[in-house]
Amino acid sequence: MADEVLSDLPTVVEHKVGVAVKGPMTTEEAARSVIDWRRKKQAEDGAEPATSAPKSVEPDVTPAPQPSDSTDGNLEPEEALPIEPPRSWTKDEKERFQSLPRETQEYIASRETERDRELRRVQNEAAETRKTLDADRLSVDEAKHRYETALPTILTYLSDAYNAEFADIKTAEDIANLAKTNPLRYFQYDAQQKQLGIIYHEIEQNLKRNHDERNRKLATFQHDESKKFAAKVPEISDPEKRRVLMDSAEATLREVGFNDDEMGKLWSGEDRVSIHDHRFQLLVHDAARYREAKARVKDINGKARPIPPVQRPGAALNREAAAEASLKDLEGSISKLPSQQAMRAAAKLVVARRQNRS
């Protein structure tokens, strides 16, 4: 009985695809391959090509509907939904894509999808690797900083210990006598001195490396800030105006209390000024008052200049009123002066107001 059942089953035959195919085959490609193979097999055997085959023997070669074509499997190819070109393509490339045959469009869209998927995978892996490297680099920098910070302490500790052990060695003559009388102790002394020399040399190298790194960062900072300042104050590019402005700035810094040594260290980055420094606060105060004066000048621009009150003949003019009137006249003249003269007038106004307050 079993033999009869087995004899009724169709024979399964394997075949190889005759053309090279990259990647998995679609249902349509697999069906075409089976049909071509059967036709070749029947031609070799001398049989007529079969127009139909039993359902139990020949598989259904109707291609499965593609999701991108249509949701209705009964639509003809020309009625199927269009295939969207890759989003990253330019407008001209998308127009050229629409003129291609549908089979080519499907192939290109599939390859672009695979490429984008692989690109995202590689980008994610690179991002994760970069995060890991950044964390490792941070750990190494922290360990290096702790080591460099501990080196001076280690040097001091070892130096004190060695000096206590070899307290009798104070001069070069003592070292020579030690080498003659006690070579073993001399070798111990020499080894300890070499160890101290290695640590001291490493400390010097760290200091030099940190100094060079600080100078590099300072040069970059100065270059970037100079470009920003030049963008805000274009006249600084004029050598004559630059010299006048620097002289005025130097005079202002001296006036609030900075000496030449402090200004030199601030300029070279060797020193810093705190925002709580009273001299810095004076500069900010004067800058704020100058901005207020500019705003008032802008508000009264085009209006009549205020006239001092009329005094009776023979009466002495109030000193404070006269000074205030002079300052107001000076404020009104700033907006009408060229930029270089306006800066000088503004500096003069700041000095005059400070003197008037005192």
Confirm whether 194 is domain-assigned. Answer: yes
pLDDT at residue 336, rounded to an integer: 65
In a domain, 271, yes or no: yes
Do 259 and 345 fall into the same domain?
yes
pLDDT value at residue 20: 54
Collapsed DSSP state (helix, strand, coil) of residue 182: coil
The verdict on 285 and 180 lying in the same domain is no
Question: What residue numbers bound the domain in which 187 lies?
Answer: 166-224
Q: Which of 32-36, 238-242, 290-294 bottoms out in mean pLDDT, i.e. has the lowest?
A: 32-36
pTM: 0.41
Cα–Cα distance between 343 and 358 in angstroms, integer?
23
**Predicted pLDDT of residue 121:** 92
Report, as an integer, the average pLDDT of 41-69: 52
The torsion region of residue 257 among left (phi > 0), alpha (psi -120 to 50) and beta comes to: left
State whether 281 and 352 are in the same domain.
Answer: yes
Q: Are 250 and 336 members of one domain?
A: yes
**Residues 199 and 267 grouped into a single domain:** no
Residues 324 and 267 in one domain: yes
| 260 and 178 belong to one structural domain | no
Same structural domain, 214 and 241:
no
pLDDT > 50? residue 287: yes
Cα dihedral 160, 164, 168, 173 sign: negative
Cα 49 from Cα 41, distance rounded (Å)? 9
Residue 23 sits at the vertex; the CA angle it makes with 17 and 28, to the nearest 5 degrees, is: 60
Mean pLDDT score of the chain: 77
Q: For residues 74 and 63, give the distance between their C-alpha atoms in angstroms, rounded to a whole number.
A: 11
User: Is position 83 within any domain?
Assistant: no
- Is residue 103 in a domain? no
Instruction: Indicate whether 35 belongs to any domain.
Output: yes
Q: pLDDT band for position 127 (50/70/90)?
A: very high
For the stretch 250-264, pLDDT in tens is 888 988 899 988 888
Domain count, the chain: 3
Q: What's the pLDDT score for residue 182?
A: 92
Q: Is 119 a domain residue?
A: no
pLDDT at 307 over 70: no
> Does 212 fall in a domain?
yes
**Residues 30 and 57 placed together within one structural domain of the fold:** yes
Task: Locate 234 and state its tokens.
Answer: 């274009």
The angle that helices 339-357 and 278-299 make with each other, rounded to 10 degrees, is 120
22, 47: one domain: yes
Choose one of 203, 224, 245: the last residue of a domain.
224
- Inform me whether the pLDDT recorded for 24 exceeds 70: no
For residue 222, give the nearest of 187, 260, 266 by alpha carbon. Answer: 266
| pLDDT higher than threshold 70 for residue 27 | no
- State whether 182 and 259 are in the same domain: no
Shared domain for 250 and 346, answered yes or no, is yes
Q: To 5 degrees, how large is the angle CA 151–CA 155–CA 160?
A: 150
| Any domain includes 99 | no
